Amino acid sequence: MKPRQPHAPLRGFDRVVNGRNVHLLNVGDDAYPPVVLLHGCGSLAQEVLAPFRKTGLHIVAPDRPGYGLSDPLPQRLRGPLAQSLWLEDFVDALGFSSLTIAGHSIGCAPAILLARRRPDLVKSLVLIAPFCRPTPEQAMLLLRLAIAPWIGGMFSQHLLYRFADYFGERVMRKAHHPNPVPDTLADFPYRHAASPQSLRMMADELLQFNADMAAVGDEPIPCVTHIIYGMEDAVLDPHWHLDWLVQRVPQARIRLLQGVGHNPHHAASAVVRSALQDAVWAGAIPGRCERPPVAEGLVRTS
């Protein structure tokens, strides 16, 4: 039996930001207000974008620094604080102002930090299963081995990379549990997502996460914010992070979804698309541009 050929990543566009390449996917009509969509740890733009391709909104999804085809930041600058500065530069390079930022999991952290620092720039947030509160460090055995001195390069290149489909499919199933992995991710390029560079980025951003988020004060985030958690999340404890968030976003619109895991954007995509539509058009100037029709099957929640 021939070994299965690895899936190729979905190729979009490249943009140079402060001398570093950023790979991004772009969908929708650029006449509409912009959305920047950020993927989580170990993922890619093509994964987080998949449920939103037919919303009609103007969405730009980058591979975050060090992931996919995007160049990494310096090693000491890979936590959420430095990524929020990168995000600001990325948004400025695209010429966006008064935009919506949506993020999944750890991708929500730089979005939150940028919204606090630049309320003039970020008009609304959509936080999908946000990982934002300092959290007791996990073992992260595979990632620690991948970055270990001497053996890290060999381990990441000859084991994790070679068997990326095997490990990746199991991680993907855990992230979606108790929901099935959707057909839209059947061709997810695990080997591309588990490159040695990406593994290093995963480890570094997790290792720098607690220090950056522990420095966040209690001042409220002023922008319109939607928070969505699946209550069967097997990756994080929704209540642990939600307690931290409600202190800082007291007016947030919160959706807690029963029977949904760590990926509400796939398992409850209609609810998440509805939140994104509402966030994008919050405070829109009547007559400036017409709101696109809601995609068929979209569920409105009051």
Domains of the chain, start order? 13-135+209-281 (3.40.50.1820)
Average pLDDT, whole number, for the chain? 85
| Mean pLDDT for the stretch of residues 159-180 | 76
Note the pLDDT of residue 171: 84
Structure confidence at residue 200 (pLDDT): 85
User: Which is more confidently placed, 33 or 302?
Assistant: 33
What's the average model confidence in pLDDT over 63-68? 97
For residue 177, pLDDT beyond 70: yes
Q: Is 255 in contact with 275 (CB distance < 8 Å)?
A: yes
Statement: residue 52 has pLDDT above 90: yes
For the record, the structure tokens of 157 come out as 């290149």
CB 22 within 8 A of CB 14: yes
Q: What pLDDT score was predicted for residue 43?
A: 95
Q: Are 35 and 280 in contact (CB under 8 A)?
A: yes
Amino acid 164: pLDDT = 59
Q: What pLDDT, on the 0 to 100 scale, is given for residue 135?
A: 87
Whole-angstrom Cα distance, residue 178 to residue 230?
Answer: 10
Question: Distance between CA atoms of 215 and 213, rounded to whole angstroms?
Answer: 5
* pLDDT at position 298: 31
Inter-residue contact 57 to 292 (CB < 8 Å): yes
Report whether 237 contacts 136 (CB < 8 A): no
* Spatial CB neighbours of 243, under 8 Å, sequence gap ≥ 6: 133
